[in-house]
């Protein structure tokens, strides 16, 4: 996989993950172009399209589009299920995930993705194993927060 | 499960994100962001040391701002500080920031690498994974240099945790993709292969990706992975849907791993070991069988996962291309999907069938679905699916169904999406040419293309129809009649005017007998379009008019009147004005004989690859036109329609004007249409139009090069040129009014040196003179010294009027090659010939050793030059081979032998040339140990006699 983008129906980018080195300018250009292309497609259309020399696999979940760019030999259907498994992981972690969870906890969305996909390849497909890794981190975090004793003055 | 709300969030971050979301305008958002940035800056710069938590929070805010699309130019140092925090969450945010905002500051990189090094050495698996994720996410060369050597060790260490192994495998993969040279292969490779046996499915999943990538470069080192992959796959495929617990996905056991294993197997040919192969075939059959079973769940995830494996299985079957039974089963399976209610499956089935169509075993099976595919082209609502259908029709086309497919594609073109029209046009043009049984159908098809989608018919397409009509005298009359009729439409596309103008100018005489298309009628029909056309087309029509004066003397007065009109003679466009002036003068001063010579019918174009095919390949990337490249499916078609091959009957004797296309030292000034080739060749020799302006539109130049619309493809002339140098090493490579390029070359073994002399024939200076040699990969050219002195000035050299500059090219032949350097350097494979003397007995022994059909290439052809034994001998010696006497029992025949020296290998070559003076024919036979070499040498040499 070369990259994964999450964006809203309004075209707002919610998450971007690049597995190939590209300049920021190029990333912005690609994002703009793809968001436009995908949003222009009608609901019943197929989930795959050719774009430049890549294959785009996308799926919409509620207000969010998940969009992956894969290479010529890569498998479209399994990529579709990569998206679904990622959604399941988010869902399980946040408890029926919605777009707002990903906006406010974007860093978590990145951490979960890193446990699932690394370098553009599937690293661990077991839901249990991925979430175990994230839970451990959260446990560490909670104990540490307690050390800091409340967050009342933490507004800025 | 820890809910997110459980107080672990950074409240300041949440507040900031809410603020941004509440901004009513872009301006308000920017204002809020700038306020925040100022705040963070002041915190970072402040005297008070920030605690880890605050640092984390601010770094996270910066990250959020960056992800919104704003530039962030600070905070890196604070993020790096977080890396060395012993609090996991701070470290984690630090790594995230570093991964997203990669920085090239070397001091920072040093600090980052240090932190990573510490975490890798920490033996804390969570920290190690974070560090590995960071390396994988950044994947830069610097990271590779720092860690590529350590990671294999972590990967295969006995005490590494599974999660660490997984991250290490994919981290290594990313580094290898970025800089393969940094990843040292070694004893660890064997142990990596054995990870395929690992108990932990996650480790296997990660390791397969790594192995798939590494084995492409070193297939032999990883060969043992085949049997391991097969047994792993076999265990998964035959397991029950719940056996693999959490690795079962919607009742499908380990779909990701299965797909990856099938991908890995596609890096290799079918397993040699019969037991392994048998087991694999069993797996593939099981997958195909399972596709027929009722689904275990109605969920789309179930069918997607199952079909993902199925499609990957089919890919492997196609890759092996050796099991007819499996190929046909695959094809039937895909056939079912063609009518599936899921659009995704229809799309993938069309795509996958495209590759099946090129296998000889399944081509026929694919063809049975033609009606479904045509229906898809007509009824699919999604343009990307229609595109796949068009691709498949193109791939399944052969002589038996060409007419149907072409007519369906033409019909589709009328309503096709603009985005894919040009591609459809190219495909139709290629199919029509390739499978034309009678060329009148071909001409009709191309004219239909212009009629339906004229705007999308590129130059390549209409140039090609002109080439074919020019080369086939059996279709010329029909073409003239058809274009004449097409031009009668009240509104016809300009491309039609171009084709019509050209064809009538050449072959209008063939229909002049009919009073409905008498010369005056033809002329007034064309001229009625004239004023509506672009300059380029009008220029072409003026050339047609001057040709008419030659073809139909009775139109001379009318046409001279047109040329003489103020609108032509004083046309603001230089090209048009010039043509009018010159053509008018030519028609008045030249005698009928001279006129007939200058304006004679164009000679046939030499055979070459269709430029349309090249264009489609460019458009679609490599492999796109494979259906046509792939000769094995329909070998006969290549010979008949593969290119425009002038059959002996259509080759007219070389006419004086043909010579003008070549390189006569000083072309007579009055040769307008015929000299177009020279003008175009000029551009080609200089590799692209960039060089054109620097030569400047001097009056002579403009005179000699009518617009490119006049006569299409320039390369045939270049090829012809090249042929002159097959048997000699020195001479004039190129010449026109402006420039002469001379060549001197010498070749020894696999090395050659070539001197190129560029002479400026004008009195003005050439500016920005920059010859470029583009060479195929196997022919390495080192340009030793450039043009002029000092050598560094070679790129932007000036060449004074009348002066000559020299360029030296050193050439090394690495392997055998077919395509000479672009463009037109006379370096052909035979230059690396070493003559070999041998006795008759040896010769025959070797001749017999090379008796496989693919080692021999033979050509029977008509003599193009007087058949003189001495000249033939000289040519064969010039070609590079030794001439062997007393070998052939017939003393009239020639027998030769030699070795082609390349860096990689030596190719022994034997040849025999049998002249038949009575029939004015030759038979040439080449035998070498490499098939393409035999064929290529045979082609090269056959053109010499």
Mean pLDDT of B485-494: 90
For chain B, give the percent of residues with pLDDT over 90. Answer: 39
Is B927 part of the contact surface with chain A (CB cutoff 8 Å)?
A: no
Residue B432 has pLDDT above 70, yes or no: yes
Q: Which range has the top average pLDDT, A81-90, A139-148, B45-54? A: A81-90
pLDDT at residue B189, rounded to an integer = 86
Condensed to tens digits (0 to 9), the pLDDT of residues B67-121 reads 888 888 888 888 999 998 888 888 999 999 999 887 777 788 889 999 999 999 9
Question: Binning pLDDT at 50, 70 and 90, where does residue B31 land?
Answer: very high
The number of angstroms, rounded, from the C-alpha of B241 to the middle of its chain's C-alpha atoms is 44
Please answer yes or no on whether A13 and B344 come within 8 Å at the CB atom: no
Neighbours of A37 (CB within 10 A): 14
Q: Which of A114, A126, A138 sits opposite B202 (nearest CB)?
A: A126
Give which of B491, B594, B485, B487 is closest to B541, Cα–Cα: B487
State mean pLDDT over B118-125: 89
Residue B545 has a pLDDT of 94
Query: What is the DSSP code string of B539-570?
Result: HHHHHHHHHHHHH-GGGHHHHHHHHHSHHHHT
Domain definitions of chain B by residue range: 437-614, 725-813, 829-943
CA dist B329 and B273 (Å) reads 24
Chain A residues inside the 8 Å CB shell of B301: 81, 84
User: What DSSP line would sit under A103-126, residue for residue?
Assistant: HHTHHHHHHHHHHHEETTEE----
Please work out, in degrees rounded to the nearest 5, the angle formed at the alpha carbon of residue B628 by the alpha carbons of B626 and B629.
Answer: 60
Q: Does B540 touch chain A (CB under 8 A)?
A: no
**Is the Cβ pair A135, B305 closer than 8 Å?**
no
Sign of CA dihedral B725, B727, B729, B731: negative
Distance from CA of A63 to the nearest CA of B (A): 16
Q: Quick one: pLDDT at residue B780?
A: 53
Q: Is the Cβ of B167 closer than 8 Å to some Cβ of chain A? A: yes
- What is residue B776's predicted lDDT score, i.e. its pLDDT? 55
CA distance B368 to chain A (A): 25
Closest chain A residue by Cα to residue B72: A24
**Other C-beta atoms lying within 10 Å of the C-beta of residue B570:** 11
- CATH number assigned to the domain covering B829-943: 3.30.310.10
pLDDT, average across residues B176-203: 89
The lowest-confidence range among B120-129, B151-160, B308-317, B899-908 is B899-908
Q: Provide mean pLDDT across the span B246-255.
A: 93
Residue B693 has pLDDT above 80, yes or no: no
Question: What distance in Å separates the CA atoms of residue B397 and residue B384, rounded to the nearest whole number?
Answer: 20
Record: contact A124-B15, CB cut-off 8 A? no
**Domain B725-813, CATH number (from 2.60.40.1230, 3.30.70.870, 3.40.50.2000, 2.60.120.10):** 2.60.40.1230
Higher pLDDT, A68 or B761: A68
Work out the percent of chain B whose per-residue pLDDT is above 70. 82
Using pLDDT thresholds of 50, 70 and 90, give the confidence band for residue B136: very high
* Least confident residue range of B117-121, B198-202, B672-676: B672-676
The predicted-structure confidence for B864-917, as pLDDT tens digits, reads as follows 888 888 888 888 888 888 888 878 878 888 888 888 887 777 888 888 888 888
Cα separations (Å) of B653 from B157, B601, B758?
A: 77, 12, 33
CB contact under 8 A, B8 and A103: no
**Which residues touch B712 (CB under 8 Å, ≥6 apart)?**
B459, B462, B463, B464, B466, B467
Residue B772: per-residue pLDDT: 64
Domain count, chain A: 1
Contact B721, B662 (CB under 8 A): yes
Residue of B nearest to A82 (CA): B256
B305 touches chain A (CB under 8 A): yes
CB-based contact B350:B318 (threshold 8 Å): no
Distance CA B199, CA B195 (A): 9
State the Cα–Cα distance between residues B682 and B677, nearest whole angstrom.
Answer: 8
Highest mean pLDDT: which range of A144-148, B814-818, B852-856, B857-861? B857-861
Helix (H, G, I), strand (E, B) or coil at B468: helix
CA distance linking residue B72 with residue B65, whole number of Å: 8
Contact A127 B246 (CB under 8 A): yes
CA B386/CA B95 separation, integer angstroms: 45
Residue B304 · residue B312 · CB < 8 Å? no
> Which residues in chain B touch residue A78, judged by CB atoms under 8 angstroms apart?
255-256, 259, 304-305, 308, 312
Q: What is the pLDDT of residues B375-426, one digit of tens each?
A: 999 898 888 899 899 999 999 999 999 999 999 999 999 888 887 888 899 9
pLDDT beyond 50 at B524: yes
Give the lowest-confidence range in B106-115, B342-351, B493-502, B899-908. Answer: B899-908
- Would the CB atoms of B69 and A28 count as touching at under 8 Å? yes
Q: What is the DSSP letter of B822?
A: B
pLDDT-wise least confident of A25-34, B104-113, B514-523: B104-113
Q: Where are the alpha helices (DSSP H) in B293-438?
A: 300-320, 324-338, 343-356, 363-367, 370-379, 383-396, 402-415, 418-434
Each residue's pLDDT tens digit, B816-856: 776 666 545 677 778 788 888 888 888 888 888 887 777 88
Q: How many CB atoms lie within 10 A of CB A143?
A: 11
Across the range B574-587, mean pLDDT stands at 92
Q: What is the mean pLDDT of residues B270-285?
A: 94
Band of pLDDT at residue B602, cut at 50, 70 and 90: confident
B208 pLDDT above the threshold of 70 = yes
Among candidates A50, A93, A119 on the partner chain, residue whose Cβ is nearest the Cβ of B173: A119
Euclidean distance between CA atoms B493 and B453, whole angstroms? 9
Contact between chains at B17 and A120 (C-beta distance less than 8 A): no
pLDDT of residue B502: 95
Instruction: Select from B186, B156, B182, B185 the least CA-distant residue to B168.
Output: B156
For residue B682, the model assigns a pLDDT of 31
Residue B129 scores a pLDDT above 90: yes
Pairwise pLDDT comparison (B323 vs B733), residue with the higher score: B323
Q: How do residues B751-776 score in pLDDT, each as one tens digit? A: 777 777 777 777 677 766 666 666 55
B406 half-sphere exposure, CB direction, 13 A CA radius: 25
For residue A20, the tally of other CB atoms under 10 A from its CB is 16
Lowest mean pLDDT among A90-99, B636-645, B904-913: B636-645
Average pLDDT rounded to a whole number, residues B274-281: 95
Contact A118 B312 (CB under 8 A): no
Query: Residue B676 has what pLDDT?
Result: 36
Q: Is the peptide bond before B601 cis (omega within 30 degrees of 0)?
A: no
Q: Which of A80, A106, A137 has its CB closest to that of B304?
A: A80
CA dihedral B833, B837, B842, B843 (to 10 degrees): 60
pLDDT for the residue B560: 92
Better pLDDT: B461 or B819: B461
Closest by Cα among B237, B175, B163 to B205: B163
Which domain range does residue A139 map to? Answer: 1-152
Look at residue B723 in the predicted model and tell me its pLDDT. 67
Subunit contact B92:A111, Cβ cutoff 8 A: yes
Distance between CA atoms of residues A1 and A8, nearest Å: 21
> Which residues of B, range 19-48, sit inside 8 Å of A by Cβ?
21, 39
pLDDT band at B784 (very low <50, low <70, confident <90, very high): very low
Do residues A122 and B256 make contact, with C-beta atoms less than 8 angstroms apart? yes
The answer to whether B361 and B321 have CB atoms below 8 angstroms apart is yes
- Cβ distance B88 to A103 less than 8 Å, yes or no, reads no
Contacts of B137 in chain A (CB under 8 A): 114, 119
Q: What is the average pLDDT value for chain B, to the nearest integer?
A: 80
Q: What pLDDT does residue B687 have?
A: 35
Please check whether residue B8 touches A, CB under 8 A. Answer: yes
The answer to whether B307 contacts A122, with C-beta atoms less than 8 Å apart, is: no
Write the CATH number for A7. 3.30.450.60
Q: How far is CA A156 from the centre of its chain?
A: 28
pTM: 0.67
CA dist list (Å): B210 to B18, B173, B214, B316, B559:
42, 5, 6, 19, 73
Terminal-residue alpha carbon distance, chain A? 38
Number of A–B residue contacts, CB under 8 Å? 203
């Amino acid at each position: 996989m070369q990259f994964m983008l999450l964006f809203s129906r309004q075209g707002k980018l919610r998450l971007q993950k690049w597995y190939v080195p590209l300049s920021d300018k190029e990333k912005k250009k690609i994002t703009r172009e793809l968001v436009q292309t995908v949003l222009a497609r009608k609901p019943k259309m197929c989930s795959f399209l050719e774009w430049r020399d890549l294959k785009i696999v996308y799926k919409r979940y509620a207000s969010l589009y998940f969009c992956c760019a894969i290479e010529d030999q890569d498998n479209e259907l399994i990529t579709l299920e990569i998206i679904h498994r990622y959604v399941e992981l988010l869902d399980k972690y946040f408890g029926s995930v919605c777009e707002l969870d990903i906006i406010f906890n974007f860093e978590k969305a990145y951490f979960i993705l890193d446990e699932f996909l690394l370098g553009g390849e599937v690293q661990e497909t077991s839901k249990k194993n991925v979430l175990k890794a994230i839970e451990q981190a959260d446990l560490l975090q909670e104990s540490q927060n307690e050390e800091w004793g409340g967050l009342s003055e933490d507004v800025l | 499960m820890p809910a997110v709300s459980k107080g672990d969030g950074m409240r300041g971050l949440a507040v900031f994100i809410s603020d941004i979301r509440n901004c009513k305008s872009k301006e308000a958002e920017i204002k809020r962001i700038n306020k925040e940035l100022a705040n963070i800056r002041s915190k970072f710069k402040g005297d008070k040391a920030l605690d880890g938590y605050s640092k984390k929070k601010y770094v996270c805010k910066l990250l959020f701002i960056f992800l919104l699309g704003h530039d962030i130019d600070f905070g890196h140092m604070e993020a790096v500080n977080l890396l060395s925090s012993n609090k996991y969450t701070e470290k984690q945010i630090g790594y995230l920031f570093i991964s997203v905002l990669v920085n090239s500051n070397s001091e920072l990189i040093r600090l980052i690498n240090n932190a990573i090094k510490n975490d890798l050495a920490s033996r804390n698996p969570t920290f190690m994974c974070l560090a590995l994720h960071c390396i994988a996410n950044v994947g830069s060369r610097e990271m590779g240099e720092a860690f590529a050597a350590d990671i294999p060790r972590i990967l295969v260490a006995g005490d590494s945790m599974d999660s660490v192994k997984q991250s290490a495998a994919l981290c290594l993969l990313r580094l290898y993709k970025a800089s393969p040279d940094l990843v040292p292969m070694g004893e660890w490779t064997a142990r990596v292969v054995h990870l395929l046996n690992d108990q932990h499915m996650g480790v296997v999943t990660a390791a397969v990706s790594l192995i798939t990538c590494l084995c492409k470069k070193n297939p032999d080192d990883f060969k043992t992975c085949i049997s391991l992959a097969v047994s792993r796959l076999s265990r998964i495929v035959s397991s029950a849907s719940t056996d693999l617990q959490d690795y079962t996905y919607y009742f499908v056991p380990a779909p990701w791993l299965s797909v990856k294993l099938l991908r890995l197997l596609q890096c290799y040919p079918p397993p040699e070991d019969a037991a392994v192969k048998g087991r694999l075939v069993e797996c593939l059959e099981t997958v195909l069988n399972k596709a027929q079973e009722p689904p275990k769940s109605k969920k789309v995830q179930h069918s997607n996962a199952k079909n993902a494996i199925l499609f990957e299985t089919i890919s492997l079957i196609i890759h092996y291309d050796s099991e007819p039974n499996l190929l046909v089963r695959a094809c039937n399976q895909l056939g079912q999907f063609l009518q599936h209610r899921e659009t995704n499956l229809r799309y993938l089935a069309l795509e996958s069938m495209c590759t099946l169509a090129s296998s000889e075993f399944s081509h026929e099976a694919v063809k049975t679905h033609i009606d479904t595919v045509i229906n898809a082209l007509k009824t699919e609502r999604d343009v990307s699916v229609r595109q796949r259908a068009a691709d498949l029709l193109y791939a399944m086309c052969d002589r038996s169904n060409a007419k149907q497919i072409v007519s369906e594609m033409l019909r589709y073109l009328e309503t096709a999406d603009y985005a894919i029209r040009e591609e459809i046009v190219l495909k139709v043009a290629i199919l029509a040419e390739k499978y034309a049984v009678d060329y009148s159908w071909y001409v009709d098809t191309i004219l239909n293309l212009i009629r339906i989608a004229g705007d999308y018919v590129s130059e390549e397409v209409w140039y090609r129809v002109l080439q074919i009509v020019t080369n086939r005298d059996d279709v010329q009359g029909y073409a003239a009649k058809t274009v004449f009729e097409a031009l009668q439409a009240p509104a016809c596309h300009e491309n039609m005017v171009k084709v019509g103008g050209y064809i009538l100018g050449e072959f209008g005489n063939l229909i002049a007998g009919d009073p409905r298309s008498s010369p005056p009628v033809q002329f007034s029909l064309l001229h009625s379009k004239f004023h509506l056309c672009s300059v380029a087309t009008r220029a072409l029509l003026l050339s047609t008019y001057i040709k008419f004066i030659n073809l139909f003397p009775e139109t001379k007065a009318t046409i001279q009147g047109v040329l003489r009109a103020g609108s032509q003679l004083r046309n603001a466009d230089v090209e048009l004005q010039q043509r009018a002036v010159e053509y008018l003068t030519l028609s008045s001063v030249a005698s009928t004989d001279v006129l007939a010579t200058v304006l004679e019918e164009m000679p046939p174009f030499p055979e070459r690859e269709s430029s349309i095919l090249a264009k489609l390949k460019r458009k679609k990337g490599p492999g796109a036109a494979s259906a046509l490249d792939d000769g094995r499916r329909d070998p006969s078609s290549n010979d008949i329609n593969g290119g425009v091959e002038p059959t002996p009957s259509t080759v007219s004797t070389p006419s004086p004007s043909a010579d003008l296309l070549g390189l006569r030292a000083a072309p007579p000034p009055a040769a307008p249409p015929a000299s177009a080739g020279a003008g175009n060749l000029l551009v080609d020799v200089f590799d692209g139009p960039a060089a054109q302006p620097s030569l400047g539109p001097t009056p002579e130049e403009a005179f000699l090069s009518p617009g490119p619309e006049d006569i299409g493809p320039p390369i045939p002339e270049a090829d012809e040129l090249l042929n002159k140098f097959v048997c000699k090493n020195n001479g004039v490579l190129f010449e026109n009014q402006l420039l002469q390029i001379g060549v001197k070359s010498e070749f020894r073994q696999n090395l050659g040196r070539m001197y190129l002399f560029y002479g400026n024939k004008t009195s003005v200076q050439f500016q920005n003179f920059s010859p470029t040699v583009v060479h195929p990969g196997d022919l390495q050219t080192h340009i030793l010294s450039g043009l002029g002195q000092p050598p560094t000035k070679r790129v932007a050299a000036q060449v004074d009027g009348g002066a000559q500059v020299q360029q030296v090219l050193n050439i090394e032949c690495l392997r055998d090659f077919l395509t000479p350097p672009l463009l037109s350097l006379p370096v052909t494979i035979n230059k690396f010939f070493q003559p070999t003397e041998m006795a008759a007995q040896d010769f025959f022994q070797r001749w017999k050793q090379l008796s496989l059909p693919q080692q021999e290439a033979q050509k029977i052809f008509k003599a193009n030059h007087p058949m003189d034994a001495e000249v033939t001998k000289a040519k064969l010696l010039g070609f590079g081979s030794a001439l062997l006497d007393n070998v052939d029992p017939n003393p009239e025949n020639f027998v030769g032998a030699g070795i082609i020296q390349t860096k990689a290998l030596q190719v022994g070559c034997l040849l025999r040339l049998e002249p038949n003076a009575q029939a004015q024919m030759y038979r040439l036979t080449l035998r070498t140990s490499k098939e393409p070499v035999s064929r290529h040498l045979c082609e090269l040499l056959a053109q010499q006699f």
